[in-house]
Amino acid sequence: MKPKIFIACQTFPEILAYLVPHCEVDEHRGEDALQGAALAARLADKDAAMLTAVERVDAGLLAACPRLKAICNIAVGYNNIDVAACTAAGVMVTNTPGVLDDTTADLAWALILAAARHVVAADQWLRAGKWPGLRFKQWLGSDVHHATLGIFGMGRIGQAVARRARGFAMRVLYHNRKRLPEQTERAAHAEYVTKEALLKESDFVVLTLPYAPENHHLIGAAELALMKPTAHLINVARGGIVDDAALVAALKEGRIAGAGLDVYENEPALHPGFLELSNAVLTPHIGSASRATRLKMALRAAENLVAALTTGNPPDLVNPEVKRE
């Protein structure tokens, strides 16, 4: 008998074609994510699941789903999953690293350029019929070329963002928990600096680091106060890294020039103050949202799932301390 699996979102025909020979597939066809008891009900008789970054897995859910052997996140991040609880329950957790780096870096640059040049606000203004014709000092934005780019989190995505900065002849600064090897710095044309120096010197501050408790509100009122009044904050990382209330206040009061945001605290609910700001460009967590990349992510998760159920050794195992057969 084939193992039973659950896919928490509508997926691609290619993924179903890959999985069906190995598994009995139950695919969630609804638009809204399942949570709590509704998710547990679908997982109760399943051996493994492919989840997105929004379905939450905790000890209570695991207790209701004793057959589960693997949770395969279709995402790089996995802060929706209580990994310690999974480890205690003997459930493997996997993610999808490396397949969305360039696509997320592309979106970071879309937000940089849109924020710097008032693209969204100017588009809305024009569509509203407010354009009287060319005016010399109309919609004056910020130059990106030759500006200073500061990157928090110089992993694969951060390095992809830095590589793109060469085309704009930018100075690139970065800050990490650990400094990168000199060879990696040279390849990225990036200079390691302190957190304070990055905030003070950068024209564009880009966040590409993973969420962790120690990164909660890494950017708050004190950090925003260090930034130039002409600077922009770009977040393509995770909600919670920025104190959204502090950012709304800084934008409203003109203490920084603008922001480009793809992620938020408590999403999909977001601070209502953002909706009142013309100097904030907002996208709904679409960093990896190209068809090619989402297909690669789903395939990587599916490969992890099949490996977990067959060899017990999935390639992207987050908790290797789980005993594997």
Number of domains in the chain: 2
Instruction: Indicate which CATH number applies to the domain containing 47.
Output: 3.40.50.720
Residue 325: pLDDT band (50, 70, 90) is low
Residues 79-102, mean pLDDT to the nearest whole number: 96
Structure tokens, 9: 């979102």
Assess whether 240 and 299 both reside in one domain: no
State pLDDT tens for residues 141-195: 999 999 999 999 999 999 999 999 999 999 999 999 999 999 999 999 999 999 9
Rounded CA-CA distance 307/316 in Å is 10
**CA 312 centroid distance within chain:** 28
State pLDDT tens for residues 65-78: 999 999 999 999 89
Assess whether 45 and 13 both reside in one domain: yes
Determine, yes or no, domain membership for 183: yes
Residues with active-site annotation: 238, 267, 285
Assess whether 176 and 242 both reside in one domain: yes
Assess whether 275 and 296 both reside in one domain: no
For residue 141, the tally of other CB atoms under 10 A from its CB is 16
Pair 259, 251: CB distance under 8 Å: yes
Determine, yes or no, domain membership for 91: yes
* pLDDT for 212: 87
Q: Domain range for residue 58?
A: 4-99+291-310
State pLDDT tens for residues 22-68: 999 999 998 888 999 999 999 999 999 999 989 999 999 999 999 99
Determine, yes or no, domain membership for 325: no
Pair 200, 227: CB distance under 8 Å: yes
Assess whether 211 and 117 both reside in one domain: yes
Determine, yes or no, domain membership for 131: yes
Assess whether 209 and 165 both reside in one domain: yes
The pTM (predicted TM-score) of the whole model is 0.92
Structure tokens, 29: 């066809």
Give me the percent of the chain exceeding a pLDDT of 90: 95
For residue 259, the tally of other CB atoms under 10 A from its CB is 25
Counted residue by residue, the chain has a size of 325
Determine, yes or no, domain membership for 201: yes
Residue 324: pLDDT band (50, 70, 90) is low
Task: Return the closest-CA partner of residue 268 out of 239, 297, 236.
Answer: 239
Assess whether 301 and 168 both reside in one domain: no
Assess whether 217 and 113 both reside in one domain: yes
Determine, yes or no, domain membership for 321: no
Assess whether 95 and 139 both reside in one domain: no
State pLDDT tens for residues 109-139: 999 999 999 999 999 999 999 999 999 999 9
* pLDDT for 31: 86
Assess whether 85 and 161 both reside in one domain: no
3-state secondary structure labels for all residues of 192-224: ECCHHHHHHHCCEEEECCCCCHHHCCCECHHHH
Determine, yes or no, domain membership for 319: no
